[in-house]
Amino acid sequence: MNTISEYSLAAVLLVIKLFTLSMYVPVDGENPVITAVIFTIMSLIKLCTLIPLFYCAKKQGGYAALSGRFKAFGCIFFALGAAGLAAAVSDLLSTAIESVYPDRYTKFSITLIFFFICAYIASMGIKGFSRCSAGALFVILPLMLFVFYQMRGALLNDRLNFYADRPLPLINQTVKNLLEYTVDYFIFFGLLPYLKGSPSRAAGIYICADIIIVLLVLLTSASVMGSFWDNSGYIFFALSFSTFGSVIDRSDGIYLAISSGAAIICGSALLIVLKDSLNFFNGAKDKNILLISAAALTAICVFADNLQLSSQRLITPICLFSAAVLFIISCISAVRIKRIDVMKNERTAQS
């Protein structure tokens, strides 16, 4: 089986995190410093929630770290979650691109191209995909730094403070908002079966780098935007607005290219998870399942768009539900494995 290293997995997840950051829409009146603190606490909680998964992965080593009994069940929810998230990612990206170039692109064409490209990259196998992501990270990060470097003249460090008029409702809103940007968590779970090394080490590398990158992006954005945060949409537009177009506008093409690249990596990862979940039911390894999945997802996205449905709103509960079920399954599985181990040990001791 094709496997990837801890570093490759971390690289994939960081690219995905950069995508979610570039598409991040702050809540009204958000205090970025509070957001950064909440994010750090959430990351540590995320690490804690991953502990049962590490345990399962270590014991079982099977698909999605689930035992055989729960495998089919897990695969259904994996498929649901991956398909839902892929549709959401496509929706986010196509909306962003369409809003930047309304006269040149339509959501339909972007969705179509997006899933075709994702299917192609996913077809190159997990190794090709992960190496490509690692390469993309080394291109994306310097470009991001370049964009931020361009904003150095607009820094408003005095805006970085903990002040909030109504702290509790703000924290509540911010937590809810941040929860919607946890696609990387799901993908981490989905790509665990491909991991060659230690999952806990992979999680450690990923979460540390994740916290550093997010804090850097959030705080830099915050220091630039200051009180203009209220007028924001995506971070990108907020940056553009708050600097009066003087610096960031000349980089919007690069910025959008970065977002598109990260979104494609994210979509490919989700298609890989989806393909393997579907292949479980299919029995054999069907190569065409990737194209079928991509076509089906395109159709769903276009259909949702034509019905004027905000697919993100529909998809978020599906994904959260899938993630919750997977989490519960993994916990039950961990307890079950532990129990079986204890029973085995007892039998050995008795005999």
Partner 1 sequence: MDQKNPKPITYRNFDSAYFVKNLNENILMLRTVLDNTMDLNIMPVRIDSIDCAVITIEGMVSTSAMAELIFRPLTELDGSGQTPQTIMDFLCTGCLMSNERILISDLGQAARLLFSGFALIIVDSTACAAAFGIQGYEKKAISSPMMENNVMGSQEAFTEVVRTNISLIRRRIKHPSLRFEMMQIGELSNTDVCLVYIRGRTDEKMVARLRSDLKKIKLDCILGTGYIMPFIESDSPRLLFSQVGFTERPDMLCENIIRGRIGILIDGNPFCLICPYLFSQNFASADDAASKTYFTFFMKLIRYIAFFLATAFPGIYLAAVNYDPEMLNAQLLSNLSASEKTTMLPLFSETLIIMLLLEVMREASIRLPRAVGAAMSIAGGLIIGDAAVKSGLISSPLLIIVGITATASYVLPSINQQMSTLRIMFILAGGFAGFFGITACALMTAANICSADMMGIAYTSPIAPFIKGQAADVFARMTFEQMQDKKTTINDFS
Q: How far is the CB of 134 from partner 1 (least distance, A)?
A: 5
- Establish if 105 lies at the interface with partner 1 (CB under 8 A): yes
How far is CA 136 from each of CA 125, 139, 264, rounded to the nearest angstrom? 16, 5, 11
Size of the site for partner 1 (CB under 8 A): 36
The contact mask relative to partner 1 for 218-257 (x = CB under 8 A, - = no) is -------------------------------xxxxxx-xx
Q: Is 232 left (phi over 0), alpha (psi -120 to 50) or beta?
A: beta
- Establish if 131 lies at the interface with partner 1 (CB under 8 A): yes
Residue 36 or 183 with smaller CB distance to partner 1: 183
Residue 141 or 325 with smaller CB distance to partner 1: 141
The contact mask relative to partner 1 for 189-208 (x = CB under 8 A, - = no) is --------------------
Structure tokens at 162: 């903990």
How far does Cα 130 stand from its chain's mean position? 15
Q: How far is the CB of 113 from partner 1 (least distance, A)?
A: 7
Cβ-Cβ contacts under 8 Å for 161 (sequence gap 6 or more): 31, 33
Among 27, 50, 88, 132, binds partner 1 (CB under 8 A): 132
Determine the Cα–Cα distance for residues 49 and 327; give it in Å rounded to an integer.
Answer: 8
- Establish if 264 lies at the interface with partner 1 (CB under 8 A): yes
Residue 77 or 194 with smaller CB distance to partner 1: 194
Cβ-Cβ contacts under 8 Å for 95 (sequence gap 6 or more): 107
In whole angstroms, how large is the CA radius of gyration of the chain?
21
Pair 286, 279: CB distance under 8 Å: yes
DSSP state of 5: -
Residue 268 or 322 with smaller CB distance to partner 1: 268
Positions that interact with partner 1 (CB under 8 A): 5, 7-8, 97, 101, 104-105, 110, 113, 117, 120-121, 124-125, 127-129, 131-132, 134-136, 249-254, 256-258, 260-261, 264-265, 268
